[in-house]
Structure 1
Amino acid sequence: MGVKFCCLFSYRYCLLKKIARIFHATRYACEVLNYVIDTFDKLEPSSSEHVKTTDTLFDGVEVRIFEPSPKQDKTLKRSVIYIHGGGWALASASMFLFYNNLCRIMAESLDALIVSIEYRLVPDVHFPEQFYDALRATKYFLQSDILAKYSVDPSRIAISGDSAGGNLAAAVCQQLSLDDSVSNKLKLQALIYPVLQALDFNTPSYQQNTNMPVLSRFVMVKFWIGYFNGNYDFVDSMLINNHTSLDVSQAVSFRGRLNWSSLLPSTFKKNYKPVIQPTGKAEIIQEIPALLDIRAAPLLAEKEIFQSQPKTYILTCENDVLRDDGIMYAKRLESAGVEVTLDHFDDCFHGCMIFTIWPTNFSSGHRTRDSYIKWLDENL
């Protein structure tokens, strides 16, 4: 039994490594990976007798709605707006093996209406279009007449997402807190190993997990450049923080908001040292100013915006380059007076929560998913 388990785990782990290598090696990685994911997706049916699935448009944005079987008492339902990950370039709300399955389980477990946003992807569109898709769909759903149509309680709505979807969820949540035209506010935000900044690619977690599957530091930088439709020749310079060196004046005002030496506990800083270049390449920020746009990098927002955020859940994994993004976001929220639950998993990796079905059925996926749903159930 032990040998069989080890062989199965080895197969799944090697599969993840191969997927990561494909992205690292090919110029057409997004198309290749989406093809691989779509192939796996066809291995399972996508129906459930307990959850009704409907595809529709919210202000021109595709969404998939997961609606649990109605109860006889006809009470208003709570709801979660979910935004999938994939580096702003991969995956889909409709993929059974990953996000369709996750949202169906959420709808059943929480007895809640789940709205999964199908935002457009790189290379068809680039920042800020993904952000605008998520914002438009969310604002449309929050209208009182739309909530009434779906029998949703306006006071019990959360926004959530993983990885790049966590980025979009955090950015949308920040934007809505500044928008007085939105009368129905979000009660919670729940961010799953979110990517929140592109200022520093040498935080302790980036240094510790440089070549970690599924998401290496190199791949994450490529995702950022793809999101911004930038020049891939900048990758090597950004890996060593040349884009935010001390001679780049645009980055100076943001540096204090992302000082991991003060934001991270010693257990996460370990013996790693900051990488701050005295001179670098100012042309990177000049050509890609969105690297410092808080709609793309919510961790860089000013304190006043953090003070207006709702109660927050952040899930982080030790074996993840993005670990410190989530931890620093939690610290900045706490410092601004927001109630935060930081749910850290010492033995888990980036993306694990969606890997709960063959051929990538990891126990870490089940544990993180169960912990996340439990928090939503207790707080929404």
Structure 2
Amino acid sequence: MKLLLVVSALLAASACFIYRPVPSGVSEPWKLMLLDACTRFMRTLGTVGHWLGLGSLVNTVSSRMMMADARSDADVTVVDTTLGGLPTRVFVAKSGEKLKRGVLYFHGGGWAYGSWKFYDSLLRRAAKDLDAVVMSVDYRLYPEAVFPAQYNDALAAARAFLSPQVLEDYSMDPGRLGVSGDSAGGNLAAAVALETGSDNSLSVKFKVQALIYPVLQALDFNTPSYVQNQNDCILSRPKMVQFWLWYLGGDLSLKPVLIANNHSSVEEPAVTADIRSRVDWTSLLPARVTQNFQLVVKEKGTPGVVDKLPGLMDVRAAPLLAESSVLSRAPKAYVMTCEFDVLRDDGLMYVRRLQDAGVPVTSDYLKDGFHGCISLSSIFNLGQRSEDSYVHWLQQNL
């Protein structure tokens, strides 16, 4: 009888942990619910690891749970090497043109988790279908690194990728190079695209940037998508704010301040009217998105937050804050956004700002999509669709 009670209690606890309502209209809700439970478990493990000073160990164990070995197949050669001094996995198509396309990819994970090891399927397919060389680096992660370390790693990798020596070593066509990434990796890809686009010392530049649900700003955590999806699966608003505080080296006690937009109040002198216009979703988002949501701009906020977190205003951390003249020098863009994602409006605002700056942009909006879907092509039909769309755009534009 006692055993039955214990088993029943465990089953009930498991059911409560797994069950978490998902929004109506999302793709394959029960699969998403199970995935969310697994994600929350791994994040809890990661948080405990960070508290115990075992962040690197947790990342290592997590990585080894995925496909960690450099395994070549009949179509793609896979090797582990370094790029710009960083561990890098390289996928090289075995057949096709002598000069290949080149793609530099930055993985997601809130600047704190993840590895190129989690993206084997996507990057392997991209190399094969594009007849390309695809490189993905393992940049430094929180807590060992905070901004601008991750950005500096990404930029070092990009400069090495664009160098004549690397282009020659891997037989990459200097006129067909792209930079890409998802989530926090999309943030790094966008920031690198802006920096290299404005760097006149570079003889070779990226032709395209392909951003998958990128993180692009930290001044407004009350955009329609942040409010609509604040408690949703995979990536909630509190979790995204936590990632930002980790990245910028801030104290987690500031989380409620950022969630309430008290850090970007009218009385904050650093957040000028010009800066505010660059994240003004009331003018940058389409009507179907804004609906009845209200702009949250506090008259009086919490003083000194920008001084404590200068990265909030740094274009290297928040590409959406870039001036139009800088955006105009960025490469042609692809931006994937998902309806059920707190980051949806970051991406949509960036699409509009790039277009206004004269940059050709393809906006790929997934109405049943959720954050992280492109990494799940083996589990979700949506993952396969998003992967197909991403690779197809690169085929047509790179």
Same fold (TM over 0.5): yes
Name which of 270, 274, 284 aligns with 2:295.
Answer: 274
**Is residue 289 of structure 1 aligned with residue 310 of structure 2?**
yes
- Code of the residue aligned with 2:321 in structure 1: it is L
Alignment match, 2:93:
68
Alignment match, 2:10:
none
- Code of the residue aligned with 1:69 in structure 2: it is K
Residues 81, 114 of structure 1: 8 Å contact kept: yes
- Code of the residue aligned with 1:111 in structure 2: it is D
- Code of the residue aligned with 1:186 in structure 2: it is F
Alignment match, 1:82:
105
Alignment match, 1:257:
278
Question: More displaced, 54-63 or 323-332?
Answer: 54-63
RMSD: 2.0
Alignment match, 1:312:
333
Q: Secondary structure at the match of 1:62?
A: strand
**Is residue 225 of structure 1 aligned with residue 245 of structure 2?**
yes
Offset of residue 44 of structure 1: 9.5
Alpha-carbon distance change, 11 to 193 in structure 1, aligned in 2, over 3 angstroms: closer
Q: 1:163-219 CA distances to partner (integer Å, 9 max, x unpaired)? A: 000000000010111211111011000000000000100000000000111000000
Alignment match, 1:53:
78
- Code of the residue aligned with 2:296 in structure 1: it is V
Q: Return the alpha-carbon distance in structure 2 between the equivalents of residues 344 and 178 of structure 1.
A: 28
Q: Secondary structure at the match of 1:90?
A: coil
Q: 1:224-257 CA distances to partner (integer Å, 9 max, x unpaired)? A: 0000111000001110101101111111241111
Question: More displaced, 194-203 or 283-292?
Answer: 283-292
Offset of residue 16 of structure 1: 1.6
Q: Secondary structure at the match of 1:258?
A: coil
Q: Return the alpha-carbon distance in structure 2 between the equivalents of residues 351 and 24 of structure 1.
A: 18
Offset of residue 220 of structure 1: 0.1
Q: 1:94-145 CA distances to partner (integer Å, 9 max, x unpaired)? A: x2xx312211111111111001121111111110011111101111111122
Equivalent runs, 1:143-292 vs 2, <5 Å: 143-252=163-272, 253-292=274-313
Residues 23, 29 of structure 1: 8 Å contact kept: no
- Code of the residue aligned with 1:79 in structure 2: it is G
Residues 254, 300 of structure 1: 8 Å contact kept: yes
Offset of residue 35 of structure 1: 6.4
Number of equivalences: 365
Alpha-carbon distance change, 25 to 242 in structure 1, aligned in 2, over 3 angstroms: farther
- Code of the residue aligned with 2:323 in structure 1: it is E
Offset of residue 52 of structure 1: 1.1
Name which of 325, 329, 336 aligns with 2:346.
Answer: 325
Offset of residue 352 of structure 1: 0.5
Alignment match, 1:113:
133
Residues 70, 78 of structure 2: 8 Å contact kept: no
Q: Secondary structure at the match of 1:28?
A: helix
- Code of the residue aligned with 2:103 in structure 1: it is V
- Code of the residue aligned with 1:173 in structure 2: it is A
Q: 1:284-303 CA distances to partner (integer Å, 9 max, x unpaired)? A: 11111111100000000001
Offset of residue 17 of structure 1: 3.5
Residues 58, 141 of structure 1: 8 Å contact kept: yes
- Code of the residue aligned with 1:58 in structure 2: it is L
Q: Secondary structure at the match of 1:274?
A: coil
Question: More displaced, 275-284 or 194-203?
Answer: 275-284
Question: More displaced, 310-319 or 10-19?
Answer: 10-19
Offset of residue 49 of structure 1: 2.9
- Code of the residue aligned with 1:245 in structure 2: it is S
Residues 170, 189 of structure 1: 8 Å contact kept: yes
Query: Which stretches in structure 2 are left out of the alignment for 5+ residues?
Result: 1-27
Offset of residue 25 of structure 1: 9.2
Offset of residue 364 of structure 1: 0.9
Offset of residue 86 of structure 1: 0.5
Q: Return the alpha-carbon distance in structure 1 between the equivalents of residues 241 and 275 of structure 2.
A: 19
Q: Return the alpha-carbon distance in structure 1 between the equivalents of residues 291 and 42 of structure 2.
A: 32
Offset of residue 9 of structure 1: 6.0
Residues 68, 112 of structure 1: 8 Å contact kept: yes
- Code of the residue aligned with 2:304 in structure 1: it is E
Alignment match, 1:16:
36
Alpha-carbon distance change, 9 to 272 in structure 1, aligned in 2, over 3 angstroms: closer
Sequence identity percentage: 44
Q: Return the alpha-carbon distance in structure 1 between the equivalents of residues 363 and 195 of structure 2.
A: 22
| Larger Rg belongs to | 2
Question: More displaced, 101-110 or 149-158?
Answer: 101-110
Query: Which stretches in structure 1 are left out of the alignment for 5+ residues?
Result: 1-7
Q: 1:293-349 CA distances to partner (integer Å, 9 max, x unpaired)? A: 000000000010111111110000000000000000000010011111000010010
Question: More displaced, 183-192 or 280-289?
Answer: 280-289
Question: More displaced, 224-233 or 35-44?
Answer: 35-44
Q: Return the alpha-carbon distance in structure 2 between the equivalents of residues 255 and 333 of structure 1.
A: 16
Residues 80, 114 of structure 1: 8 Å contact kept: yes
Q: Return the alpha-carbon distance in structure 2 between the equivalents of residues 131 and 354 of structure 1.
A: 22
